[in-house]
Amino acid sequence: MSEGGTRGLELRGVTVRHGSVPALSRVSATFPAGEISCVLGENGSGKSTLVALLSGLRRHDEGELLVDGTAVRFRSPRAARAAGIATVWEDLAVAPLLSVWRNFFLGAEPTRGVWPLRRLDLDSARATTARAMARVGVPGLDPDQPASRLQAGERQSLAVARALHFGASALVVDEPTAAVTVARQTLFGQAILAARAQGLTVVVVTNNPRYAHLIGDRFLLLAGGQVAGNLTREDVDADGLTALMAGGDQLGVLTDALTELHPELGER
């Protein structure tokens, strides 16, 4: 960690352009470790670009992206993963014919013995997968069952469990834009809360303000690629956050008022 840095992710005046058009324009925000930060906004607000930036799919044109206080510039998703950032995508895919534990390890299977007698440690792989899934709120899962039998929420929970097991320090979640069931949101919400309890930086991109207020500690509202609001649970209730998502002058008025009372919000 650099001097004066904080644990977590931070954007300082970040601009990302698609050609000559800024998808993000001078965005500053802090995503602290051990908290859930929800990013909200309409389609075209810059949410997808923010996810792409944090996951290493896009590079910023201006400003700074900091991980634990150190400025970084990812050249690939592998570089982002190496820095401890795991991304759970909206269209998360699994290898359906492979077992759950095979999907969990994805080429990093535990072994025992020494070369040339080294072999796969099946018992350890199965037990580790079952413990990791229970840790994120999916107890009693059969690790030998094919991944095709997992529900959507369980597949996302599997991605979170894997990130925790392999030492991720930050989790970026690209929530589905389509309506999802309460059961799925409940299941995946447990996994996200487990990640926060383990001290991870959690960034959740969602279109559901009530769900965001239920699980989130702070809320970054984007509009037209710019920060339209930077709030905490103490600043706004669920009804207020829902109203702000509807647009209008309320968001600008609230943002100005809060920035006047708390100048540090304008510096993030």
Classify residue 95 by its DSSP letter. Answer: -
Measured distance between the N- and C-terminal CA atoms of the chain, rounded to whole angstroms: 18
**Amino acid making up residue 49:** T
- Contacts of residue 150, defined as CB under 8 A and 6 or more positions apart, other chains included, come to 94, 100, 158
Classify residue 150 by its DSSP letter. Answer: S
How is residue 190 written in tokens? 């447990």
- Contacts of residue 67, defined as CB under 8 A and 6 or more positions apart, other chains included, come to 9, 83, 84, 85, 169, 170
Among residues 101, 102, 228, 104, the alpha carbon closest in space to that of 160 is found at: 104
pLDDT at 4: 43
Q: Flag the least confident range among 22-26, 83-87, 147-151, 152-156.
A: 152-156
Walk me through the domains of the chain, giving residue ranges and CATH numbers.
8-93+169-267 (3.40.50.300), 95-149 (no CATH)
pLDDT mean over 37-53 = 94
pLDDT at 104: 96
Give the model confidence (pLDDT) of 190-216 as tens digits.
999 999 999 999 999 998 898 899 999
Give the model confidence (pLDDT) of 206-265 as tens digits.
988 988 999 999 999 999 999 999 999 999 998 999 888 876 455 555 556 655 665 654
Q: Could you give the CA distance from residue 150 to residue 95 in angstroms, rounded to a whole number?
A: 11
